[in-house]
Amino acid sequence: MQISGAQMVIEALIAEGVDTVFGYPGGAIMNVYDEIYKQNKFQHILNRHEQASVHAAEGYAKATGKVGVAMITSGPGFTNAVTGLADAYMDSVPLVVISGQVPMSLIGTDAFQEIDAVGISRSCTKHNYLVTDAADLPRILKEAFYIAASGRPGPVHVDIPKDVTAQIAEFNYDIDINLETYKPHTKGNPRQIKKAMEAIAKAKRPLFYLGGGIINANAAYEVRELVHKTGIPAVETFMARGTLSHDDDLLVGMLGMHGSYAANMAASETDLLIALGARFDDRVTGKLSEFAKNAGVIHVDIDPASISKLVNADFPIVGDVKNVVEDMLTQVDIVDADNYESWRETINNFNELHPLTYHEDSERLKPQWVIERVGKLLGDDANISTDVGQHQMWAAQFYPFNRPRQFISSGGLGTMGFGFPAAIGVKAGTPQKISINFTGDGSILMNVQELMTAVEKKLPVINIILNNNFLGMVRQWQTLFYDKRHSETDLSVQPDFVKLSEAFGGIGYRVRTKEEFDAALKDAVEKNVVAFIEVIVERFENVLPMVPAGGSLFNMMLLEKKESK
């Protein structure tokens, strides 16, 4: 079949089963957009900023497990998208981002809207391509989807010059992918798995350390079975929330900088750490030399470069977490759950000593209460996105997650402005669920233009703005570590968020009491339209527990004990 390069892009997307593309057109990608106009196999969602297009594709991918697709133009269109690429790279999100480029004859001439896109994206993508011949497009696009989704997932960037999209060439998508230098190892070594299970059986205080790779590998339910059959307590990273249900007796909580006291102490006291799909991020480990320093380490990961990168693994297992856990389950009979009864009791005592809680306030709503309340009212019916800051940590701490892919947030890069466009992508990918975005009065303004996207496409995201008139997390650090010098973090001058939402065609609420919040959330859900619920919360509330940067997990700043909720 002889077709143009632009038509090839469309045919490849259809062949890959893509149902949603996020993007923003421009001169260099115009030929492809002309073909989008002519087709009816997938929907295109027009974002109002290219960064938002990539974040929306991330939200879609994180919520569905499919490859997210974004399409952008050259020059500033691409540079606007770089933050999204970097965010996806850090969080191992499968994306294919297609950008237009100036014609081949103009590359290197400083032409209008020319930028070295592949040079810029090299450090923040799993792989990238500059297409110089339309005949190569079928192979490149098929490779792009394969690379994005296989092994450790990640974003793949395909840069296509405008004249290449106009070239006519043979389109054949029925081709095999054979990349000599890229062959992900998906099955774990049987001898290593056997040794790991024997080590688990001998341990006195083993602990599962569950990472975001479990979510990426769709392995949460296999991991739940392994945890329950062994009777071994488990801690989750921020990116792994929802691996175990919030009410699971063996879930100790989230660990790390803002992890629970019990989780951080369990990680400090364990004699065998079983890391599944985790990368020992600095926000999890704190002071590396003190992290689980008396423990042996089993490390399972699809990415061989991650194993022993930061913490030496005594039992390294390279493989897909789902496959490895399935193999571990075949040998689980050698593990006696009764052996860990005293260890489980020790962890329960940690939790009773310093439970994850907060102090109520009769004057102002506490942000933690708002998050808990949404969980109580909506629970499993909602998918939760967040921006970055205090509200993000409170959501991870206090929302009752029941399932994998329920929590969508920016982990590694920590991108303010991620939440709203991601929640749009989440809603597009999982329309049967309510899409909630917990955000702050700082973060929401970073991609507020996406109100127009959500209104136009009738994607009813409910944005819950926890307004403390501060850049809250930076203010917290300034309070604790900079002698209360709140440099450029006071956001007392803000727009009227209710009118702002209404100006775009959404609805808005401003609430100060529990009763007002309940009424607003109920109304927003019933109306099923784009909404801002601005919640006036306590200004100086801190996220606790907190491990100071570079500190040891067992040295936490804790909530002062007094009458708690």
Residue 133 belongs to a domain with what CATH number?
3.40.50.970
Q: Are residues 250 and 384 in the same domain?
A: no
Q: Are residues 10 and 156 in the same domain?
A: yes
- 563 domain-assigned: no
Q: Are residues 22 and 143 in the same domain?
A: yes
In degrees and rounded to multiples of 5, residue 300 shows phi and psi of -110, 125
Q: Which domain holds residue 337?
A: 190-353
Domain boundary pick from 353, 382, 403: 353
Q: Which residue among the candidates 197, 265, 393, 473 is catalytic per the annotation?
A: 473
What is the pLDDT at residue 562? 73
Q: Which residue among the candidates 113, 331, 449, 494 is catalytic per the annotation?
A: 113
Whole-number Å distance between alpha carbons of 131 and 137: 7
Q: Is 315 a catalytic residue?
A: no
Task: Give helix then strand counts, H and E, for the chain.
Answer: 21, 20
| Residue among 453, 430, 397 at smallest CA distance from 53 | 453
Q: What one-letter code names the amino acid at 47?
A: N
What is the pLDDT at residue 363? 82
What is the pLDDT at residue 561? 79
Q: Are residues 371 and 506 in the same domain?
A: yes
Q: Is 236 a catalytic residue?
A: no
**Taking CA 89 as the corner, what is the angle to CA 102 and CA 427, rounded to the nearest 5 degrees?**
90
Q: Which residue among the candidates 1, 41, 43, 112 is catalytic per the annotation?
A: 112
Strand 155-161 and strand 296-301: the pairing is unpaired
Q: Are residues 378 and 345 in the same domain?
A: no
Whole-number Å distance between alpha carbons of 384 and 388: 13
Q: Are residues 87 and 155 in the same domain?
A: yes
- 283 domain-assigned: yes
- 32 domain-assigned: yes
Q: Is 50 a catalytic residue?
A: yes
Q: Is 470 a catalytic residue?
A: no
Q: Are residues 232 and 329 in the same domain?
A: yes
- 53 domain-assigned: yes
Q: Are residues 220 and 333 in the same domain?
A: yes
Per-residue pLDDT of the chain (565 residues; tens, 9 = 90+): 899 999 999 999 999 999 999 999 999 999 999 999 999 999 999 999 999 999 999 999 999 999 999 999 999 999 999 999 999 999 999 999 999 999 999 999 999 999 999 999 999 999 999 999 999 999 999 999 999 999 999 999 999 999 999 999 999 999 999 999 999 999 999 999 999 999 999 999 999 999 999 999 999 999 999 999 999 999 999 999 999 999 999 999 999 999 999 999 999 999 999 999 999 999 999 999 999 999 999 999 999 999 999 999 999 999 999 999 999 999 999 999 999 999 999 999 999 999 999 999 888 899 999 999 999 999 999 999 999 999 999 999 999 999 999 999 999 999 999 999 999 999 999 999 999 999 999 999 999 999 999 999 999 999 999 999 999 999 999 999 999 999 999 999 999 999 999 999 999 999 999 999 999 999 999 999 999 999 999 999 999 999 999 999 999 999 987 754 4
Domain with residue 286: its CATH number is 3.40.50.1220
Specify the DSSP element, H or E, that contains 207: strand 206-210
Q: Are residues 335 and 378 in the same domain?
A: no
Could you read off the pLDDT of 64-105 as tens digits, one per residue?
999 999 999 999 999 999 999 999 999 999 999 999 999 999
CA atoms within 13 A on the CB side of 503: 9
**220-to-182, 402, 460 alpha-carbon distances in Å:** 26, 11, 28
Number of domains in the chain: 3
Q: Which residue among the candidates 126, 162, 366, 427 is catalytic per the annotation?
A: 162
Q: Which residue among the candidates 50, 372, 538, 541 is catalytic per the annotation?
A: 50
Q: Are residues 125 and 225 in the same domain?
A: no
Q: Are residues 376 and 271 in the same domain?
A: no
Q: Is 113 a catalytic residue?
A: yes
Whole-number Å distance between alpha carbons of 83 and 89: 10
Full strand arrangement of the beta sheet holding 531-536: 407-408, 382-386, 434-440, 462-467, 531-536, 507-511
Full strand arrangement of the beta sheet holding 43-46: 43-46, 20-23, 68-72, 95-101, 155-161, 127-130
- 185 domain-assigned: no
- 362 domain-assigned: no
